Amino acid sequence: MAKTDVLKQIVAKKKERILAAKQQISQEELVVRIADLSAPRPFKEAISKPKQISLIAEIKQASPSSGLIRQDFNPEGIARIYQEVGVQAISVLTEEDFFNGSPSYLEVVKNVTTVPVLRKDFILESYQVYESRYLGADAVLFIADLLTKDKLVECMQVAEHLGMDYLVEVHDEKELKKVLSLKTVQVVGINNRSLRTLEVDFKTTEKLFTLIPKDKTIVVESGIKNAQDVLFLKILGASAVLVGTVFMASHDIKNKVEEVMGW
């Protein structure tokens, strides 16, 4: 399978999943069910701590670049470890076909933690934002490359209406320009992994970081493996790191979190 086809395949599958989800529960029904939920936990606030770098710790079983990462995968158990070790937020990968995720994990994680929960998936339309809120997400990830400017604005407005924070992810200068033209974006994610080739390049962060206004909350994603990486990003001025693979591949998650974050 050519690596460049991965994103296309993920999006095609995701469109099928969205259609199936809508047949199970309509957007109108989601809106009704959301009305009774308690307010979302504040994600941006949790990861914007002055003079320190926050951790958004990820729960995922597999990825197209790494294959199966964790054999004994127990989202509830992992969430409890993250909660105990003191992470600032938890990212839950819910994409089913390429990451072995499930939207149901959001509720599982939410029930055993007190920190904000980010839904990490391939959000293509506002239906999924309502769905995310219904399933327990406090914040959602939007990938700039997957959404036209109009579609991104629409999804952001739905999130704001529902009281949810959102992280908008970019991979290059063109995407960053598009995102920064939308003044309401407060949390920008720089992903060092190309969605098209799956290669990781830390220079992506070095290139894009200086172009982002200081009043934005900047999250760095992908390729963060050790305490040196985190220290480098802290000195650079990043607000938070999103780390998954290195924790998921570890026999002792708690120990690995402490080691990587220097806690």
Q: pTM of this prediction?
A: 0.97
Counting the structural domains of the chain, the total is 1
**What residue numbers bound the domain in which 141 lies?**
3-261
Arithmetic mean of pLDDT, 43-54: 96
* 154 is an active site residue: no
* 125 is an active site residue: no
What's the pLDDT at 175?
98
* 84 is an active site residue: no
What's the pLDDT at 2?
46
What whole-number distance in Å separates Cα of residue 58 and Cα of residue 220? 13
Residues 177-215: pLDDT tens digits?
A: 999 999 999 999 999 999 888 899 999 999 999 999 999
Arithmetic mean of pLDDT, 82-108: 97
pLDDT at 4 over 60: no
Arithmetic mean of pLDDT, 134-152: 97
Output b/e per residue, 168-198; b: 16+ Cβ within 10 A.
bbbbeeebbebbbeeeebebbbbbbbbbeeb
What whole-number distance in Å separates Cα of residue 109 and Cα of residue 94? 12
pLDDT at 105 over 70: yes
Residue 6 — very low, low, confident or very high, per pLDDT cuts 50/70/90? confident
**143 is written with which tokens?**
């990938």
* 234 is an active site residue: no
Average pLDDT, the chain: 96
Percent of the chain residues topping a pLDDT of 70: 98
3-state secondary structure of 201: coil
Arithmetic mean of pLDDT, 55-73: 95
Domain at 31, CATH number: 3.20.20.70
* 173 is an active site residue: no
- HSE of 188, CA atoms in CB hemisphere, 13 A: 29
* 216 is an active site residue: no
Q: Which of 14, 221, 239, 256 is catalytic?
A: 221
